[in-house]
Amino acid sequence: MGDSMAYQTTIVNPVETEGFGLHTAVASHLRLVPAPADTGIVFRRVDLENFEIEAHVRNVARVSYATSLMKKGVLLSTVEHLLAALYSCGVDNVYVEIDALELPILDGSAQPFIEMLERAGTRRLRRRRKYLQVQKALEFSDGDRRIGIYPAEEFRVRCLIDFAHPMIGVQESEILVGRETFSRELAAARTFGFVEEVEKLQEMGLIRGGSMENAIVLTRDSVLNKGGLRFPDEFVRHKALDLIGDLALVGRPLKALVVAHKAGHALHTQLVTRLLADHSLWKEVTDPPMETRADATPAAAPSPAHAAD
């Protein structure tokens, strides 16, 4: 792997956006700010005196229709799309300032976050990047839903879905995760939902901010959105996007193959929890290994936005 993979990164310039939450419909302002080495991805509730919630599975609260984090009673919802963009682009350290309890859904995909990261740029820091390299397989199931993580020299995900709907059916996607591949193949894939479920979900306090501006809306046999689909298999691409966002809760870049069969947020985060709990399944490595590399340390100067690939 190239030298750019060996060192931690952060963003160069602060960037911001605003919108409203998919589930709460609450307006919010979101800002990404550079952070020093070994910070990780840390959310700051600026409406609550900069209360910090680390993007780590230990802080997972609810994972039904979105991934939510909670620390000391402070909640933050729908973090997965931003996390997928940060993780795929190799941004190791960043503060995410947010002034509400849910991240803005924007267009329902990770594309707006990729565009933010392009504007922000990335820069290399002076600290080596530590990867979590999977050594032994871990797999489990819940009914017909299955998930597994397996040894690999790179980070790859394979996702399969099966919906009894004429526009979906069985779809499968596999991707070697990186800035270029994620931006091209997954980032623009939007979340989706079914018209007949809307009323039930709203009664549960969910999707209050949902619309055809931020989701694919399906009737029993068609897509309601005027522009149609962005990809023929947009549904499985979005599920793979969600999977990557949830895997970011490992807190370190992965070297592993993850295979998800009809899985969802609950199984994704359960996989992360089980993996981290069993130290025999993985080891922490640098790339290239410390003992095979000269001690040259790069300057912490700005580098092109794609330096994190």
Catalytic residues: 265
Closest by Cα among 227, 212, 230, 214 to 105: 214
**For the range 192-198, what are the long-range contacts, defined as Cβ-Cβ under 8 Å and sequence gap of 24 or more?**
192/216, 192/217, 192/218, 192/234, 192/235, 192/238, 193/217, 193/218, 194/165, 194/218, 194/219, 195/219, 195/220, 195/224, 196/220
Specify which residues 148 forms β-bridges with. Answer: 139, 259
CA–CA gap between residue 116 and residue 129 (Å, rounded): 23
The three-point CA angle 65-23-158 to 5° equals 35
CA–CA gap between residue 103 and residue 53 (Å, rounded): 13
